[in-house]
A and B are shown apart, each in its own frame.
Chain A
Amino acid sequence: MPMIEMNNVSKWYGRFQVLAECSTQVEKGEVIVVCGPSGSGKSTLIKCVNGLEPFQQGEILVNSISVGDPKTNLPKLRARVGMVFQHFELFPHMSITENLSIAQVKVLGRGKDEARERGLKLLDRVGLRAQADKFPGQLSGGQQQRVAIARALSMDPICMLFDEPTSALDPEMINEVLDVMVELAQEGMTMMVVTHEMGFARKVAHRVIFMDQGRIVEDDKKEAFFGSPRSERAQQFLSKILHH
């Protein structure tokens, strides 16, 4: 039973079709990298997985729960799906510790002390224990993104979604974030990652999805993708991002 299953998902903004019959599966423990040119629908696809974006056709199951079903308790489902954004989206008016504990307390009903402990442990893990009492605005981009990953982990997610987690970072900060993600992947976290970091893909991805104009045009085992991509579009795209 796959952790994430998409069957023929289509979505429109008015007349404009953003997603066209997208189907794929993510098994438990699998790491999937999603790439493709700007505007191809990567963010939209990943936001459909936890219902942040509605879709008009098809079906998405997360842990066998249907995301599109109006009867589904979306907040409950989302609480178990970690999400990391391009622009971090930490809550700026809360200290780092509060960022890590508020949802544990308000959503999962954990005690304040328990939530704080868990938060501090995760801060340790991403190497930011010393920043616990600071505010997001006082941290560098790379640090903020590591906190954002820790915040997602604080909810004990069953899988995690990343939307270009390193593309808003200065180059020297990209690796500190990728390192955390590689470690997560190696520990067996189920991950769906929109990124153009092909180094990351080569290292830990099981499969690579290539999107173009709202369609999944490649969905291959990593080896096959980097070896001989079938579509010309993917070929061009790969050569562009690999040579810089």
Chain B
Amino acid sequence: MSSWDWQVFCKDTIDGEVVPGCFGGAGDVTYLDWLLSAWGWTLSVSALALVVALALGSLMGILRTTPHRGLVLLGNVWTELFRNIPLLVQIFLWYHVVPTLIPPLRGVPSFILVVIGLGLFTSARISEQVRAGIQSLAGGQRMAGLAMGFTLPQTYRHVLLPMAYRIIIPPLTSESMNIIKNSSVAFAVSISELTLFALQAQEETSRGIEVYLAVTGLYFVSAFALNRAMLFVENRVRVPGMIGGGGH
């Protein structure tokens, strides 16, 4: 289409001049530089939030399947709490409310707050999946582990979790892809990630189509690459003699 102008990405962000080679050097920043750095922020927020979500979501999901009532309650409350408040509201809570309630959090960079907010939100969803995965093994595997003399933690470690995680790889994959997409809420607290870049660059250059196409492409590539990576993992850990990841 003749009206498209991909040169926009080679422009300097300050004076609007096209920079040869498209990458600015020595203090100059082109829109391409900015786009890539914004992509970096998106990936960083997503990756760190995923680590938080996997760790806490697994822990909470596991607690909900233990025989201890108090731990089950803790896991349930956690899950319901973070699952039932809209993500954007949670991000604002972390940004505006929590630091006033807990003074030590006042100096914490908004990047960290977003990672916590997105991580906890997603942990509630992962907790659900981990719980369902463990419960799908029914009681038999747990009893078999305990009957061999494993302690409860050993039973989880060696018997229940290896199968539960295999079973939940597909929902975990879509949850990980969701994190990349959901990381766009970070723009609301001024993290310079892809969505914020799109909003600002489109305003400055009036080249909305090119800017949004580029940003869309990067979101797509990120989520798609993650999806392929998880498929690879799924195939690697497939149990011989079982259809799909496992389950009875």
Residues of A within 8 A of B141 (CB): 89, 91
Task: List which A132-154 residues lie within 8 A (CB) of chain B.
Answer: 134-139, 151
Chain B interface, >50% SS class = helix
Contact indicator per residue, chain A 195-221, by CB within 8 Å of chain B (1) or not (0) = 000000000000000000000000000
A80 to B148 CA separation, bound complex (whole angstroms): 8
Contact indicator per residue, chain B 228-245, by CB within 8 Å of chain A (1) or not (0) = 000000000001111000
Contact indicator per residue, chain B 146-163, by CB within 8 Å of chain A (1) or not (0) = 111111001000110011
A79 to B145 CA separation, bound complex (whole angstroms): 10
How many residues of chain B are within 8 Å of chain A by beta carbon?
Answer: 23
Please tell me if the beta carbons of A91 and B159 are within 8 angstroms of each other in the complex: yes
Contact of B147 among A76, A83, A138 (CB under 8 A): A83
Please tell me if the beta carbons of A137 and B154 are within 8 angstroms of each other in the complex: no
13 contacts between A and B (CB under 8 A): A52-B146, A83-B143, A83-B147, A89-B144, A92-B241, A93-B166, A103-B149, A106-B154, A107-B154, A135-B239, A135-B241, A138-B241, A155-B149
Whether A62 is near chain B, meaning CB under 8 Å from some CB there, is: no
Please tell me if the beta carbons of A87 and B146 are within 8 angstroms of each other in the complex: no
Contact indicator per residue, chain A 86-129, by CB within 8 Å of chain B (1) or not (0) = 01011111000000001100111000000000000000000000
Whether B246 is near chain A, meaning CB under 8 Å from some CB there, is: yes
A-B residue pair count with CB separations less than 8 angstroms: 78
B positions within 8 Å CB-CB of A: 140-141, 143-151, 154, 158-159, 162-163, 166, 239-242, 246, 248
From residue B134, how far is it (CB to closest CB) to chain A in Å?
14
Please tell me if the beta carbons of B143 and A89 are within 8 angstroms of each other in the complex: yes
Please tell me if the beta carbons of B239 and A93 are within 8 angstroms of each other in the complex: yes
